[in-house]
């Protein structure tokens, strides 16, 4: 449906991509603009946001770029102020920034732990802290957070899993706190999506394993995450708040032993139902 965000103003953090291609923040930014929103594209690396801006402007959309570090309270306040000054209001905040490192609790350093929690959780707190008062002035709004299926199941990175589980709790808490302000807060939990952030770590075999992990047996892209964000930000989702939406090709509804090819091989026949 075209123009589902017409007249709305959105901030997307992490609006650029870390490498060639389309990442989650870039996809959401482009889709928001296609649906009629005016979008403030925020990235710590301004040139990344400007690249996204060029794509939006080439399609006739309305957007502008801003360099900001969303782990800084001052930058988050400035980001929200810029959106209001440029476009007159604020309706949507899409929190898209996140990092990871592979470590268990015995391996992770204190510095790594603090950095991941700051980027993945504190950034959402700070961005929301300054966005919510402006949304209240306009009668409400929509906040989207990005968790991960790693926040719902064990993952190879304890600090990443912990931070993404914290995002779920933060989402639900903010939804409860600000529902009567007309502000909906929802969380997307991406699955094994192929994006510029993970591409450098992939070879063909690993990419195929990830592709076949979900019951749909297809590869997820940043557009899949962007489409979910567009829906949750729109008035079509007016009665949805506090939810965690896995976008994961059905990965979370199965276990390897009971369902997929690995399970069939282990049992020597059809998977146990």
The torsion defined by the Cα of 51, 34, 237 and 194, in degrees rounded to 10, comes to -50
d(CA 243, CA 168): 9
Query: Is 194 annotated in the active site?
Result: no
Give the pLDDT confidence score for residue 193 in this predicted structure. Answer: 92
The CA-atom distances, in angstroms, between 225 and each of 151, 173, 211, 268 are 16, 22, 16, 36
Confidence at residue 176, expressed as pLDDT on a 0 to 100 scale: 98
**Alpha-carbon gap, residue 256 to 12, rounded angstroms:** 36
Residues of the chain with pLDDT under 50: 262-263, 266-273
What pLDDT is stored for residue 243 in this prediction? 98
- Residue 103 to residues 63, 91, 158, 207, Cα–Cα distance (Å): 38, 37, 6, 21
The pLDDT tens digits for 155-204 are 889 999 999 999 999 999 999 999 999 999 999 999 999 888 887 888 88
Ramachandran assignment for 139, one of left (phi > 0), alpha (psi -120 to 50 degrees), beta (any other): left
DSSP result, 240-251: --S-EEEESTTG
What's the pLDDT score for residue 212?
Answer: 87
What Rg, from alpha-carbon coordinates, does the chain have? 19
Asked whether the beta carbons of 193 and 229 are under 8 A apart, the reply is: no
pTM, two decimals, is 0.92
- 87, 130, 160, 194: the catalytic one is 160
């Amino acid at each position: 449906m075209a123009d589902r965000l017409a007249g709305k103003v959105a901030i997307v953090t992490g609006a650029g991509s870390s490498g060639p291609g389309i990442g989650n923040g870039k996809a959401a930014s482009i889709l928001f603009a296609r649906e009629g929103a005016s979008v403030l594209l925020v990235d710590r690396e301004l040139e990344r946001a400007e690249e996204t801006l060029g794509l939006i402007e080439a399609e006739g959309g309305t957007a502008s770029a801003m360099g900001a570090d969303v782990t800084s309270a001052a930058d988050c306040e400035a980001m929200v102020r810029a959106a209001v000054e440029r476009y007159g209001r604020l309706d949507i905040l899409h929190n898209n920034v996140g990092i990871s490192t592979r470590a268990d609790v015995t391996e992770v350093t204190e510095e790594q732990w603090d950095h991941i929690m700051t980027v993945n959780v504190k950034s959402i707190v700070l961005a929301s802290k300054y966005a919510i008062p402006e949304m209240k002035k306009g009668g409400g709004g929509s906040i989207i957070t990005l968790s991960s299926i790693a926040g719902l199941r064990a993952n190879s990175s304890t600090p990443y899993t912990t931070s993404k589980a914290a995002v779920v709790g933060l989402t639900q808490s903010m939804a409860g706190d600000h529902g009567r302000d007309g502000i909906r807060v929802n969380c997307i939990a991406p699955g094994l999506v192929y994006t510029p952030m993970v591409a450098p770590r992939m070879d063909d075999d690993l990419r195929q394993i990830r592709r076949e992990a979900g019951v749909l047996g297809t590869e997820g892209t940043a557009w899949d995450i962007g489409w979910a964000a567009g829906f949750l930000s729109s008035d079509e989702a007016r009665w949805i708040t506090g939810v965690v939406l896995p976008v994961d090709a059905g990965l979370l509804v199965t276990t390897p032993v009971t369902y997929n090819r690995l399970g069939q091989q282990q049992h020597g026949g059809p998977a146990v139902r």
